[in-house]
Amino acid sequence: MMMTCFDIGGSNIKAATATGPETLHNLGRAATPLLDFDAFAGVIADFVAAGRAADGAPVAISITGVVDPQTGIATVANIPCIDGRNLAGDLSARLGRPVFVANDADCFALAEAHAGAGKGHDVVFGAILGTGVGGGIVVDGRVLRGAGGIAGEWGHGTIVATDVSVKPFHLPHFPCGCGQKGCADTIGGARGMERLHTHLHGVDLPSLAIVEAWMACEATAAQTIDLYVELLAQPLALVVNVVGPDIVPVGGGLGNSAALVERLDVAVRQRILRKLGRSLVVPAQFSVDAGLLGAANLGFSEMTA
């Protein structure tokens, strides 16, 4: 069976065909129509035709935003023409074929569980440390969406410590875009690391520059990374205790630093109930096509359920 897969963001739609959960044939990309659903559906239809999918062959989509598994309603703030729609249902009616949709964090976790660092493991928690913090849970090869489609979204909830072992020893709870304060998202992604560095040193630096300076043993960057790891390890350890994953692949821009992920792994394993003599938190194996590969695995796992 061949299906057409899509990785859809606010700027571009990437497309590929998949003949198996690990095999992609890229079809290219197109600009994402933001305000016109007919144009949006038309781009999808054109790629399906270009891939020469058989009649009735499914379409699988990785998308930014949240999809409620009970209602099918998608919440996608950066693509207004699909925000509030039953995207799978509306596209299925247009295309005359099954359509499966999941958010990009879930698809990242699926890609890692089926073909990446989580391959061969029963429970995989995919942690994303990108601009912010996200995640997805895969159990026995299938994504666990949870009520409202928010399972795995560990970035929110007032949990970040204010008393720490690293100078200045006490921190405020930073406000989060979700309306709360003290969420892991406020300190865990790239913007969070930058916020910590500015708070500690009064200097604005991009997150990757902070990591590079830390690798070069620069003292202020080392203090920032020490604080970052301590603050982030606590909520991630809680996730591990609650979910019980066999492995935690880390994706996103900060996941590209193997040294940073290794530091986080050591700190998390010191804080969890299960005692492991091996790495638990590891770099993800996929970055470039994780969305497309995850969409493929979404489609194949749903078709064989």
**pLDDT at 51 > cutoff 80:** yes
Q: Once rounded to an integer, what is the mean pLDDT over residues 224-247?
A: 97
Amino acid letter at 139? V
Are 133 and 255 in a shared domain? yes
pLDDT at 288 over 80: no
Residue 67 to residue 57: CA distance in whole angstroms: 22
Q: 72 and 43, same structural domain?
A: yes
pLDDT at 251: 94
Average pLDDT over residues 202-211: 97
Q: How confident is the model at residue 23, as a pLDDT?
A: 84
Average pLDDT over residues 65-76: 91
- pLDDT for res 17: 95
Do 138 and 274 sit in the same domain of this protein?
Answer: yes
111 assigned to some structural domain:
no
**Residue 142 resides in a domain:** yes
Query: What pLDDT score does 244 carry?
Result: 97
Residue 239 lies in a domain: yes
Same domain, 126 and 193: yes
- With CA atoms as reference, report the closest residue to 119 among 285, 269, 240: 285
Say if 255 falls within a structural domain.
yes
- Segment 96-118 shows an average pLDDT of 94
Please say if the pLDDT value at position 77 is more than 70: yes
Quick check: 167 pLDDT over 90?
no
Are 18 and 147 found together in one domain? Answer: no
Closest CA to 252 of 268, 232, 271, 227: 232
Return the pLDDT at 41: 97
Same domain, 85 and 143: no
Would you state the pLDDT for residue 101?
A: 96
CA 249 to chain centre: 10
Query: In this structure, are 86 and 183 located in the same domain?
Result: no
Percentage of the chain with pLDDT > 90? Answer: 84
For residues 193-219, give the mean pLDDT.
97
Q: Is residue 115 part of a domain?
A: no
| Predicted pLDDT of residue 60 | 96
pLDDT tens string 108-124 = 999 999 999 999 999 99
Looking at per-residue pLDDT, the higher value among 210 and 149 belongs to 210
Let me know if residue 114 belongs to a domain. Answer: no
Q: Cβ(262)–Cβ(295) under 8 Å?
A: no
Does the pLDDT at position 276 exceed 70? yes
199 has pLDDT over 90: yes
* CATH at residue 52: 3.30.420.40
Same domain? 226 vs 274: yes
Domain span at 171: 120-283
Q: Is residue 112 part of a domain?
A: no
**Whether pLDDT at 303 is above 90:** no
pLDDT for 82 beyond 80: yes
Q: Are residues 269 and 293 in the same domain?
A: no
pLDDT value for 53 = 87
Share of the chain above pLDDT 70, in %: 99
Please tell me the total count of domains within the chain: 2
Task: Check residue 305 and give its pLDDT.
Answer: 62
pTM of the model: 0.92
Shared-domain flag, residues 144 and 178:
yes
Q: Is 266 inside a domain boundary?
A: yes
pLDDT tens-digit map of 130-144: 999 999 999 999 999
Do 130 and 171 reside in the same domain of the chain? yes
Q: Return the higher-pLDDT residue of 304 and 42.
A: 42
Q: Tell me the CB-side half-sphere exposure of residue 139, using CA atoms within 13 A.
A: 7
Q: Are residues 219 and 261 in the same domain?
A: yes
